[in-house]
A and B are shown apart, each in its own frame.
Chain A
Amino acid sequence: PSILPRRRRFSSAVSCLKMALVRAPSLFLRNGLASACTTFIRPRSWWTEVPLGPPDAILGVTEAFKRDTNPNKINLGAGAYRDDEGKLYVLPCVREAEKRIMAKNLDKEYLPIAGLSSFTSAAARLAFGSNSPVIKNNLNATVQSVSGTGALRIGAAFMNKFFNHARCIYVPDPTWGNHVPIFKHAGMNIERYRFYDPLTCGFNFDGAIEDLENIPERSLVLFHVCAHNPTGVDPSPDQWRELASLVKRRSLFPFFDFAYQGFASGDCTKDAFALRHFVDEGLQVALCQSFSKNMGLYGERAGAFTMTAIDENERAAIESQLKILIRPMYSNPPRNGAFIASEILNNEELNAQWLVEVKGMADRIISMRTQLRDNLTKLGSTRNWAHITDQIGMFCFTGLNQEQVHRLTQEFSVYLTKDGRISVAGVCSNNVEYLARAMHEVTK
């Protein structure tokens, strides 16, 4: 039986019949009776059982936003940084890098499967730090990826094939929505460990520790290095130290998602603390990096996936296997984003300019958090909004429930995801008051 509703099946049958009546005579003349008959007795379509899929939970928010005609509408759905005028922001260092790359008049020869090496080595150095034993001893197998999602998928595929100890990965609860389908499509199951405490709108440290103590040894565990998505809640350095010690003691394997280096505190070194600490403790890691947010490269899809090895032989073996996974996925990666990131990271002056610009973005977000909280206080809200400024990075878990979220969208044209997550990057001076008013209205 077809999944399509009866009306659709009928109209599809009618259009088939119409088509057949028009086409049959000319087909008969051209190809003979056999052809005309096959059109007339049209074979059943291949796709009648394909259901219309629901819009993507996060990207679907932007689609709904675009359809809204309210002039006061605000899009706080997808995590794309906007400047204080609400406009998409292309970093000046990126524009400069693009100019320099154009001037080089490069050809379009395929990149190697593992990508642009000047990019991958710079990306690894940025994450681990030039003084890291991983970098100094060349123990990182780093491949270019189609941004953060691509890195996660490569990593998931690698784990599915080579991580012999488990068929599942433990992710924080909650986590970025796309983590689940990424690992599932790669053949892995998902389990969760406690992370967010809805009572405090903060990190459930005791819950996380307890859960990680009880999962099987040698399990695969996903951590967000900084600016946890969707909650904005990060463990403190001391809490990270305890987590690292637990991971080491129980032989868990840490799988890091690093999408916001520089974007959380404004300081790339500070934001990398968790990753670097785990490595300093002698742990082998997997790392997914994205340059979508911190370099504003979004649509260029610049990212990298790294696994750390114990020696060169292992590093080479891992890299060769990563290439085997990449080849039947897309052969070799897109050049543009990698060239831009490489130009910036490998040039002292552009790199310095970038560090200032990324700090600028982080500072603006921090100031919007402060303004939002201040406005809510001014409006007389009695609710505790401390988490707005306690949380870090692009997102804020407002603590609003589904009904309140629904009202925000329907009554005020404020678009956010169902879980109450807002992208603070979409807040600016000329809409923060409106947003505060809307949030106050639905929560008072």
Chain B
Amino acid sequence: SRLLLGERSEAVLQEKYCGVQSISGTGALRLAAEFLHCFHKQGTTVYISDPTWANHRTIFSHAGYSDIRTYRYYYAPTRALDFEGLISDLEAASPGSVVVLHMCAHNPTGVDPSQEQWSKIADVFQARKLFPLFDCAYQGFVTGDPDVDAWPVRHFVERGMCFMAAQSFSKNFGLYNERAGNLTAVCANTEEAKAVRSQLKKVVRPMYSNPPNHGARIVATTLCNPAFLLEWQDNLRTMTSRIVLMRKQLYAKLLERGTEGTWKHIVDQKGMFTFTGLEGKCRAIILLLYYSCWMGLPSCRIQTDCLDISLL
């Protein structure tokens, strides 16, 4: 939780947060969904971005939510954020609605709001009394700096807002199959944080009693040891710079070949995924045949970290 919120966060200093270990990001989201379904009676609607990670919808529906809607997010003509659409949809959301936000490296588009846009998003949340649930699967994976990547969450704390954040250590620690994750809840005060934590435990107990130790021990050992922490931060920069390099090289090669269309979004988008803008199956198939690229059909998302420059 302190990695996400920052050691100097008022949430940390005033101890008005709690963290519950989870089975990676999916587990954290499911804990949040179950808890909200039980205790968050102010709103029975969940909003997820359009598009979003496919599992978001399933997690909430299995937790008992039947009213799951989308807010506009990706604008295909510009291959960028549909900011007006996003604001407009959130302004129309009923008060108390739960809204799933991607803290950074939006999955699957790679399109993130700017800081200024995040601030305006926070305005809408406060005005409409919406409940923020951050999906934080890529902290440190965008810029290589976990503090910079956590800016949206920290901004919401500074604005005095309460929310939950589902953290995954699968990508930023490469722990994938160890299932290391954490659900952070920022509350109004310490007592509330204790109460929320005690009720989160009651969601965990009938699901799997207590979480797997191995991945959590690795993360804790790293974060609590100054030398390991430095090494991890260095590893993060290595991973993210490789991804950024792949983006730049793909873009450069496309320009070199005089490829039809605009491709700047490949370097503008952030994190592990790029929404290429290629339409439909036929172009994806051509790419597949000629370049043996892995692409996720039908939304045409390329995983940039699997690219080998020679394939281009």
Query: Main SS of chain A's interface residues?
Result: helix
Out of B159, B202, B215, name the residue touching A39 (CB < 8 Å): B159
Q: Are the C-beta atoms of B30 and A53 separated by less than 8 Å?
A: no
Q: Are the C-beta atoms of B177 and A47 separated by less than 8 Å?
A: no
B283 at the A/B interface (Cβ < 8 Å)? no
Q: Write the chain A residue with the least CB distance to B39.
A: A50
Out of A50, A52, A184, name the residue touching B206 (CB < 8 Å): A184
A: which residues have CB within 8 A of B? 4, 8, 11-12, 15-16, 19-20, 23, 27, 31, 34-35, 38-39, 42-43, 45-53, 56, 59, 108-111, 145-150, 153, 178, 181-182, 184-186, 299-301, 325, 327-337
How far is A152 from B208 in the complex, measured between Cα atoms in Å?
A: 9
Q: Are the C-beta atoms of B196 and A146 separated by less than 8 Å?
A: no
Write out the residue numbers on chain A whose beta carbons fall within 8 Å of the beta carbon of B7: none
Write out the residue numbers on chain A whose beta carbons fall within 8 Å of the beta carbon of B198: 52-53
Known: A46-B131, A146-B23. A52 touches B188 (CB 8 A): no
Q: Are the C-beta atoms of A328 and B26 separated by less than 8 Å?
A: yes
Write out the residue numbers on chain A whose beta carbons fall within 8 Å of the beta carbon of B177: 108-111, 332, 334-335
19 A-B interface contacts by CB (under 8 A): A27-B158, A34-B123, A43-B126, A45-B162, A46-B42, A46-B188, A47-B187, A50-B39, A53-B195, A59-B210, A146-B211, A150-B208, A181-B206, A184-B206, A301-B211, A327-B55, A328-B61, A329-B30, A334-B212
Write out the residue numbers on chain A whose beta carbons fall within 8 Å of the beta carbon of B178: 108, 334-336
B174 at the A/B interface (Cβ < 8 Å)? yes
Q: Are the C-beta atoms of B62 and A299 separated by less than 8 Å?
A: no
Q: Are the C-beta atoms of A12 and B213 separated by less than 8 Å?
A: no
How far is A337 from B178 in the complex, measured between Cα atoms in Å?
A: 10
Out of A31, A45, A48, A109, name the residue touching B176 (CB < 8 Å): A109
B235 at the A/B interface (Cβ < 8 Å)? no
Known: A35-B159, A332-B177. A53 touches B202 (CB 8 A): yes
Out of A50, A153, A327, name the residue touching B58 (CB < 8 Å): A327
Known: A46-B42, A299-B212. A52 touches B195 (CB 8 A): yes
Out of A50, A300, A330, name the residue touching B192 (CB < 8 Å): A50
Q: Are the C-beta atoms of B212 and A146 separated by less than 8 Å?
A: yes
Out of B123, B175, B206, name the residue touching A182 (CB < 8 Å): B206
How far is A192 from B211 in the complex, measured between Cα atoms in Å?
A: 29
Q: State which residues 39-71 of B face A: CB under 8 Å.
A: 39-42, 55, 58-59, 61-63
Q: Are the C-beta atoms of A108 and B179 separated by less than 8 Å?
A: no
Out of A34, A52, A329, name the residue touching B194 (CB < 8 Å): A52
Count chain A CB atoms within 10 A of each CB in B126, B159, B170, B177 and give the residue with the most.
Answer: B177
In addition to A38-B126, A300-B214, 5 A-B residue pairs with Cβ atoms within 8 Å of each other are A48-B192, A147-B209, A328-B62, A330-B22, A334-B23
How far is A67 from B227 in the complex, measured between Cα atoms in Å?
A: 34
- Count of B interface residues, CB-CB < 8 Å: 61
Write out the residue numbers on chain B whose beta carbons fall within 8 Å of the beta carbon of A45: 162, 187-189, 192
Write out the residue numbers on chain A whose beta carbons fall within 8 Å of the beta carbon of B195: 4, 47, 50-53
CB proximity of A297 to chain B, nearest CB, Å: 10
B8 at the A/B interface (Cβ < 8 Å)? no
Q: State which residues 194-247 of B face A: CB under 8 Å.
A: 194-196, 198-199, 201-203, 205-215
Known: A50-B195, A52-B198, A334-B212. A329 touches B27 (CB 8 A): yes
Q: Are the C-beta atoms of B176 and A149 separated by less than 8 Å?
A: no
How far is A15 from B209 in the complex, measured between Cα atoms in Å?
A: 35
Write out the residue numbers on chain B whose beta carbons fall within 8 Å of the beta carbon of A31: 119, 159
Write out the residue numbers on chain A whose beta carbons fall within 8 Å of the beta carbon of B279: none
CB proximity of A111 to chain B, nearest CB, Å: 5
How far is A195 from B139 in the complex, measured between Cα atoms in Å?
A: 52
Known: A49-B39, A53-B198, A108-B174. A329 touches B214 (CB 8 A): no
Q: Are the C-beta atoms of A42 and B160 separated by less than 8 Å?
A: yes
Q: Are the C-beta atoms of A330 and B27 separated by less than 8 Å?
A: yes
Q: Which 5 A-B pairs have the closest CB atoms?
A: A45-B188, A334-B212, A330-B23, A53-B198, A146-B208
Q: Are the C-beta atoms of A178 and B205 separated by less than 8 Å?
A: yes
Write out the residue numbers on chain B whose beta carbons fall within 8 Å of the beta carbon of A335: 177-179, 214
Write out the residue numbers on chain B whose beta carbons fall within 8 Å of the beta carbon of A50: 39, 192, 195-196, 199
How far is A50 from B192 in the complex, measured between Cα atoms in Å?
A: 8
B109 at the A/B interface (Cβ < 8 Å)? no
Q: State which residues 1-49 of B face A: CB under 8 Å.
A: 10, 14, 22-27, 30, 34, 39-42
Q: Write the chain B residue with the least CB distance to A115.
A: B177
Write out the residue numbers on chain B whose beta carbons fall within 8 Å of the beta carbon of A150: 207-209
Q: Are the C-beta atoms of A153 and B160 separated by less than 8 Å?
A: no
Mask, B165-180, CB within 8 Å of A = 1, is 0000010001111110
Q: Are the C-beta atoms of B30 and A330 separated by less than 8 Å?
A: yes
